[in-house]
Each structure stands twice: as structure tokens, then as C-alpha cells.
A = this chain, B = another copy of it.
């Protein structure tokens, strides 16, 4: 037993260093190369006797290889970089969660970089992450500064985009089927009798998912105009803290509706909350005064007013699939860029029922 080993088993608290491959080699009386072979090619190439000696030594020293050193040597780090535009966004968190899980299951660790909604830092993030030799990147970002991600892809690092497309980037893309989700929501509003519809989103800028949802909304309205008498639609972009214009937009909506029922489709949970706040300010009731269906189901959706109808995204699934795509690529899958669109699920609740239901019939998800 080596001195190091004694230290390790002793109950005193000297800052015991991790055992290295050299320690194991010494302990087992073999060369470092042999230990390395045991680790990487286990069954093949090794005498039974030697193998067990190494095995014992490894156990005795509680040795585990240094991923850092491995990364340096192999170029592979077992690290995956995740860049999110905003960790505060519940959607991002859910993706994060799914991705982290999938990574763990495949033995990868996640390095996280949060942009805090400052899209200028995107290349900084990608830079930092690639410096650490991450093997691939999952991006839930705007891709404003296209160079950075493209650069990573050019370095041969696979990239997966989640929810937000980058303009000119050839990469796997995982997202909700936005058009389908919109159809689900709008059709539901129409079926419930709402006719004057308003699509409310955050500023659309270059966020692909918002653009797609708005486009789908517009085309649904024009496609259905013939079949559904009196169906009208318009759109509104809500800015943070600009309560005035949102209130006005809702007032306008009701006015335009006239005798018809006014309904809102909100483009995500953040917007939904703003609409909720506006309704409270106006003293209006969901369903009765204005109908609502919103993207993103949250834990609190069932408990706001009569319950908020939502289009739930399979968020965990999105994260998991994104990580899965990446890991497939890392395993060598060589395919042209894929698009994977997952379907949303409509959860109808009181906010899309024109007649107020008694409180006790609220339905949870």
C-alpha cells in the first residue's frame, strides 16, 4: 500500500489529492498504458490476471479518470453547452430541465450560459463555451449575431436550435409546431363562439417562433373568413411596462366586436400574464367579457379567474429531443439538418367559455 493510499484511508483530513493513472499503475505494478487500456478497451487486449490487478488497484484508490486530461488528449470533453436567452423564462427553464436530463443520461454534463436577454452577448457565450471544448451546443437564442454559432458549426461542433430559428443557419431545429398550435387555439376560440380575435405577442423583432405564430394566426383568419361568418382578426405587440397601449388594444377589441364575442390569443406565458393584469385593471371577466387562449401551460393557469385555457408545449420533451439530436450527431450521425416539430396540446378551461361557469367546475390540467 502506497503512502498516498494510506492518506486516503486515514480519517485525518489532509487535502488528499485525487489518485491519478500513475498511482494506479504503481499500485498494480503495471504501466500507465495498461491502466488506460483497461479503462478504454476493457475486454480486448488484456490478460485476465493483469486486468483484475488493475481493477483492484482502481477500487483501492477510488480512482476515476480526469475528464480534463481526457478532453485535452482526445479533444472530446463530454460537455455540452447550453445557451439560453433568458433563464427567467419558464419555457427556457423547462427546456433546460429536459436537456439536462437527457445529457445526464448519456453521461454528458451541461455548461450553462444565460444571456439575460442581452443578445449581444451571444457570441461571447459561444466563445466561452467552445473554449471549454464543449462537444456541441444547444441554443435557445435569437441568433442575431449569426457569426458565432456558424463559427461553432464550422469548427465541426454540432448545434441544435430550440424554439428559435437562426436566420441563415444550417442546424437541427427543434420546436413546437407553431402553426398547429395556433390552429388549435384559434379553432377552439371560434368553436366557442368568439369572432373578433386579437393576437397579442411580445415585440416580434426577429424571434422566429413569434413570427410563425403571428403568420399562422393571420392565415387562419383569412382561410376561415369564408366559412365562419363575421370572423375578424388583428394583432398587437405588447411592450413591457406599456400597460396603456395594451389596455387600449383590449378596449378597441371589444369595441370592434360590437355584438360579437371578442377573444384573445396570447403568444406566450409572459404575454398571458400581461393580459391577465390588463383584465384586472379593466375589471373584465375572462370568458364573458373577453375570451382567452394562451400559449404555454403553467402551474398557475388553472387558478387565474375561471381558469386559463392554454396550448401546452411539450417543454420537457423539447429539451430532451434537442439534447438527443445533439448526442446522435456526436455519435456520428451524418444527416442533413433536421426540423423536429412537436405538437401542442389544447387545455380548455373557463377563460374560453362565454358563459361564466361556477367556480367549482374549474378544471385543472
Q: Which chain A residues have a beta carbon within 8 Å of chain B's beta carbons?
A: 13, 15-18, 64, 66-69, 71-72, 77, 79, 87-88, 93, 96-97, 100-101, 104, 109-114, 116, 127-129, 131-133, 154-156, 273, 276-277, 280-281, 283, 298-300, 302-305, 359-360, 362, 364
- In the bound complex, residues from chain B placing their C-beta under 8 Å from that of A280 are 302-303, 359-360, 362
With A16-B154, A303-B304, A304-B304 already in contact, 14 other A-B pairs whose C-beta atoms are closer than 8 Å: A64-B131, A68-B132, A87-B100, A97-B114, A101-B114, A109-B113, A110-B111, A273-B300, A277-B302, A277-B364, A280-B360, A280-B362, A300-B300, A300-B304
Q: Are B283 and A303 in contact (CB under 8 A)?
A: no
> Are the C-beta atoms of A132 and B109 separated by less than 8 Å?
yes
Q: How far is the CA of A302 from the CA of B278 in the complex (A)?
A: 12
Contact A68 B116 (CB under 8 A): no
- A95, chain B: closest CB distance, angstroms: 11
Hey, which chain B residues are within 8 Å of A79, CB to CB? 132
Interface centre among A88, A156, A273, A300 (most CB of B within 10 A): A300
For the complex, give the distance between the alpha carbons of A88 and B316 in Å.
11
- A242 CB to closest chain B CB (Å) equals 15
